[in-house]
Structure 1
């Protein structure tokens, strides 16, 4: 973190005469030789020659006077504290003059740094990754329990056998998955009766195998959809990009309002994953930025509900924002899974992985469709389907 005025802006403390003298004495203790003082000046992007003098006391006094006169005495204190964080006298001086938390901007993130502790003791712990924060375990358990009840295995009966994908409730009776999961049924001219959604499939033992829920025969199958793109078969964006109508999604309507089922004591309903107001990159760019976390709740290879997470999973959006790429693991059968933040906010629909299947190639990415694009497509082309979203 640089506190140089050209990068951080000017922080002015307006130190009076006694405080200036105290700061000079503190700096001399914290930076007792010329090399250390020069290091501090470089942290502030200031030329060493401007303050050079035969005596170190003269150099430091000149720095303090210039800082006070030109309004960067706050920068000087912050830089000195950061450069020598173990010096208690410097810590205490900063605490005495920064009474309110200081807002520090790290890209799209803002951290309130409190320098006002009475004893100004050095902190032994810090928030190193602001995107992750520290989560309440009680809240996490509640969120994960709800998500486990809302994600399902999509079981597809084909003339040649069975196949599966993943889906999740996005309304009381609406399940979102990928178009390519149900496409073989459409090609075989089979309808909703060939699909079942298995909820609560947590293990292969009988009590935890879950229950299947049929689709409605009275609604279109699927009620909303968009095909995938030929560009999804390319590892690079160099040749072409998916179009904004090539979103590889299908919305399935269940026979009953499964999301309204009471599944826990006290009348707690299953609920659904809210996507109607899915965040956009314009509104919350940090969620789509490189190294942001991604969590994918899925039924890999048709197995019981599983999760893959990578706290620095995001690679970034493709050239036109129609695909979000990430490093988080998936397997066949994971198509249609929700891609979420660490606190399980849904941002994308997983649909595919690195298409280079050369035996010597190490996969470099998986990818999903930003949910805000899917919601927008439904709103424009499938108003009845859009109304089903919770």
Structure 2
């Protein structure tokens, strides 16, 4: 969320940026200020080291004790990303926030400015990269403003309640602990380093570690400016609602605004953009137009934070005017007069009783298989050594994988394996992936109705394929965090299709690879008359007559496919079926089923209802839609006789060879 500091703040920072104007206390704090600073350090729970003393005396050493990192990890746990959903009158966006008590979160007023805004927004915890650079699956909590909501526009803060459990009710909010605030002043000094943890521009959790030095703390006691402190900034704006920490990981301020390079001409204020024009001259935009450019566009001079002591005092006044039991309990905890049950008053990094210390796991010392990270399901390369894949001669005639030349030209390159090939071979089926989409161009499976087996599904566990770079596969970074399970892990090769013969169990396992998965709207994937219904119909005919079939399936890519959480969601899927009867006659049929209405303008406030759109089309028309070439044999064997796409009211409308009665 974009926020600019006041012109008064811009003036203060501009003065501080001028070397001649730097106050002497930036270099050495006044002796009378050292005592409260030492008291706050002692209250941090992290002990005081000799280097801590050196730093507050002006010796800016970068050496830190190792527990600084461990305590920093603990301090990061209660920090979350806030997704603000817009409406007809307000734009949506992202901000940051952090837990300051059981079910109480602190952020900016300009992030959550009303109970209504909070009601339609959410908080994402654990949205960060793991030790191996992989995005962790975030855990989403809903706000509960009806249980507590206090906001202050002047100080730009909002204290709001959260639900006790995640949306799926699998994670308790208390497991994240909280950052206990300290209402006293003296938690930092001019010239000291501060760190910021947050989600700039809605990105995974990041930290600006000791790269920001405090420039000024307030102006004059009793003056409005005394509620703020100013600190240096890096090149990235944003982080609205993030906690600002001192070196003891105490929260000293709530980050709320950036101070951009500014000029005033007459009554108009201009902000400077980061990039100059082609002639190397500064570019300036009117302040009222700044929101159209985004945070990263501006040249930032400093950051401004709201002092924690000012926030607590404002809430104390609020509670006197309108007493509230929840707020009273929080203020008693902050003051230390009555800590929350199960917590110690001296801890400002509060974790639930029994929570584990953050220490390196011994499993990290064990040798890891190349390319594999703990917690990621992936088998060894040897596991796939004997896979034969799709058999082009399965029906007694050569029906190979389709030619992809036109599809590659339209949608991007084929994903290649380590050996330079492109066909991922599994038991009775194969997959060829589109690299830019990270989804299959085509899957191809052989079905033998005479040898089909019925195996229980058991518990789903999906695997990455080690033969293909993991970055080219979509895993639980998409499917593992879908509000209301909106998009399913949709099998392309249906689980039952390759499950036949002596290797049925292995085939069943092979279908649970991310390469055989595509995001499908839940009712589309689970419906009995559409996606699954069509496959059941084909398999029933095949099994009943002991026919063999080869089936090609995949998404119908389109340039208009919308981006959702980093993935373009297919609006339609195709299926081409080739069968041969006892007389050796080859027949083919082609289908397109659509989830377009659910893959565009993806909502999460409510789930849509209504019919899907499914059609039988000619093989040639399907080739035009996908860019795939299935060959002359399937075009000649096409059972579809229509000149236009045939809408299917039910499976009875399908033009496909029926079993003889």
Query: TM-score with structure 1 length normalisation?
Result: 0.53
Kept after mapping to 2: 8 A contact 1:262/1:270:
no
Task: State which of 281, 296, 304 in structure 2 corresponds to 1:367.
Answer: 304
Q: Does 1:272 align with 2:202?
A: no
State the 1:172 CA deviation: 1.2
For 1:326, what is the secondary structure of its paired residue? strand
State the 1:226 CA deviation: 0.4
Q: Does 1:325 align with 2:227?
A: no
Choose 1 or 2 for highest CA Rg: 2
Q: How far apart, CA to CA, are the structure 2 residues paired with 1:256 and 1:174? A: 10
State the 1:331 CA deviation: 4.2
Structure 1: gaps (5+ residues)? 1-104, 111-124, 228-245
Deviations 1:86-140 (A, max 9, x none): xxxxxxxxxxxxxxxxxxx984559xxxxxxxxxxxxxx9999423675331x22
Q: How far apart, CA to CA, are the structure 2 residues paired with 1:182 and 1:127? A: 37
Query: TM-score with structure 2 length normalisation?
Result: 0.32
How many residues were matched structurally? 236
Q: How far apart, CA to CA, are the structure 2 residues paired with 1:380 and 1:153? A: 29
Which of 1 and 2 has higher RCO (CA within 8 Å, sep 6+)? 1
Q: Does 1:302 align with 2:202?
A: yes
- Give the stretch that moved more between structures: 342-351 or 320-329: 320-329
Deviations 1:350-383 (A, max 9, x none): 0001143223385321100001111111111034
State the 1:304 CA deviation: 0.6
Task: State which of 289, 298, 301 in structure 1 corresponds to 2:189.
Answer: 289
Q: How far apart, CA to CA, are the structure 1 residues paired with 2:327 and 2:53? A: 40
State the 1:262 CA deviation: 11
Task: State which of 112, 136, 143 in structure 1 corresponds to 2:65.
Answer: 136
Q: How far apart, CA to CA, are the structure 2 residues paired with 1:254 and 1:109? A: 38
Q: Does 1:358 align with 2:269?
A: no
Q: Does 1:154 align with 2:82?
A: yes
For 1:256, what is the secondary structure of its paired residue? coil
Q: How far apart, CA to CA, are the structure 2 residues paired with 1:218 and 1:127? A: 43
State the 1:146 CA deviation: 1.4
Q: How far apart, CA to CA, are the structure 2 residues paired with 1:178 and 1:381? A: 17
Kept after mapping to 1: 8 A contact 2:97/2:241:
yes
Q: How far apart, CA to CA, are the structure 1 residues paired with 2:100 and 2:124? A: 15
Q: How far apart, CA to CA, are the structure 1 residues paired with 2:329 and 2:135? A: 31
State the 1:325 CA deviation: 0.4
For 2:652, the equivalent position in structure 1 comes to none
For 1:98, the equivalent position in structure 2 comes to none
State the 1:190 CA deviation: 3.2
Q: Does 1:201 align with 2:127?
A: yes
Kept after mapping to 1: 8 A contact 2:128/2:135:
no
Kept after mapping to 1: 8 A contact 2:84/2:117:
no
Deviations 1:175-225 (A, max 9, x none): 000000123xx4xx83433111101111398761311111125325xx111
What is the CA RMSD across the aligned residues, in angstroms? 3.4
Q: How far apart, CA to CA, are the structure 2 residues paired with 1:333 and 1:213? A: 22
